[in-house]
Amino acid sequence: MTTYHNKLTLLIIDDDPVCISTLSSLFSSLFKVEVAGDGKSALQNIMLKDIDLVLSAINTPIISGQELCTFVKNSQITAHIPIIFLADKATLDEEDECLAMGAIDYLDKNARLSILVSRVKNIMTMVAQQKRLAQVSCTDGLTGLANRMQLDTTLNKEWYAAERGSHPLTAMIIDIDNFKLFNDAFGHLEGDKCLKIVARVIAASKRRESDFSARYGGEEFVLLLPFTDLNGAKQVAEQLLDNVRRQNIPAPEGASHKVVTISIGLATFSPTDSDNTLNDATDLLDKADTNLFIAKEAGRNQCVFD
């Protein structure tokens, strides 16, 4: 078993408290364990938390295990999550049905516990390997930040979480000012160094584990701040502007300032705001991009927000 297992999360779903307690005790030393007593609570866990494997009874209240499986497998956000079903009394017909709808395994609740543990550990090992590969494929090779593909996935997930949890979500689009002039004056190798430095500053500005930074393309970056309202985001932006200036990277002749600076477009989505005009995650980025354009037109080295 690899140490990576301790970072993985197992969701156990059952309305039987004894079964929940037994399974939690069985796996709590191996993984982070979340529990749910019905399908509705389980679905909220799956959509709002980073669940790596679901271990579910079939006959769960409100939403059945099979209905939950169908929803999970039909959603682009959650389709990757493997599901193991535990049957009160296993039958071949039910096993066939569960596997056909996308479950990765099917076991009788009375199966030997050592077999259940081995199957869960084997699947988690595959999940860990897939996560490592995904991290490589979703990372920008130059800056080490997430790439555009990972940004799109994370943005949609955080938007949904903000809607469900009624908490704010802020997006910043960050652009290095006069970067074309910088490349023309100093060459692309120095340009790459500049990108890496700014990327490190952006990554270091994250205050919560849920904060997320990515390279958007070229000299543009995105910083997502879940649970952060406009006032909190403004503080992050002002600190970010100052921290980039403090790197004292010489700017080329003809640039707006003597050292390399950034401009920031900021937009905040708040589900509880009656004046909100943003309908989806794309609107949030579009609004931030519009504010970035205004910041550039207004002289750069600043943040613009609504």
Fold topology of 148-304: Alpha-Beta Plaits (3.30.70)
CATH superfamily for 3-137 is Response regulator (3.40.50.2300)
Structure tokens at 149: 């593909």
User: Could you read off the pLDDT of 230-265 as tens digits, one per residue?
Assistant: 999 999 999 999 999 999 999 999 999 999 999 999
Give residue 4's pLDDT band: very low, low, confident or very high (50, 70, 90): very low
Determine the Cα–Cα distance for residues 50 and 279; give it in Å rounded to an integer: 24
Mean pLDDT score across all residues of the chain: 93
What pLDDT, on a 0 to 100 scale, did the predictor assign at position 2? 42
Give yes or no for residue 5 having a pLDDT over 60: no
What pLDDT, on a 0 to 100 scale, did the predictor assign at position 184? 96
Give yes or no for residue 77 having a pLDDT over 50: yes
User: Could you read off the pLDDT of 104-132 as tens digits, one per residue?
Assistant: 999 999 999 999 999 999 999 999 998 88
Domain ranges of the chain: 3-137, 148-304
Contact between 249 and 200 under an 8 Å Cβ cutoff? The reply is no
Query: How far is residue 26 from each of residues 41, 87, 89, 111, measured CA to CA in Å?
Result: 22, 18, 21, 14
What's the predicted TM-score (pTM) here? 0.68
DSSP states of the chain: --GGGGG-EEEEE-S-HHHHHHHHHHHTTTSEEEEESSHHHHHHHHHHS---EEEEESS-SSS-HHHHHHHHHH-TTTTT--EEEEESS--HHHHHHHHHTT-SEEEETTS-HHHHHHHHHHHHHHHHHHHHHHHHHTB-TTT-SB-HHHHHHHHHHHHHHHHHHT--EEEEEEEETTHHHHHHHH-HHHHHHHHHHHHHHHHHT--STT-EEEEEETTEEEEEEET--HHHHHHHHHHHHHHHHTT-PBPPTTSSSSB--EEEEEEEE-TT-TT----SHHHHHHHHHHHHHHHHHTTSSSEE--
What pLDDT, on a 0 to 100 scale, did the predictor assign at position 251? 96
219 classed as catalytic: yes
What pLDDT, on a 0 to 100 scale, did the predictor assign at position 6? 52
Closest to 223 measured CA to CA, from 232, 137, 102: 232
Q: Which of 219, 220, 238, 253 is catalytic?
A: 219
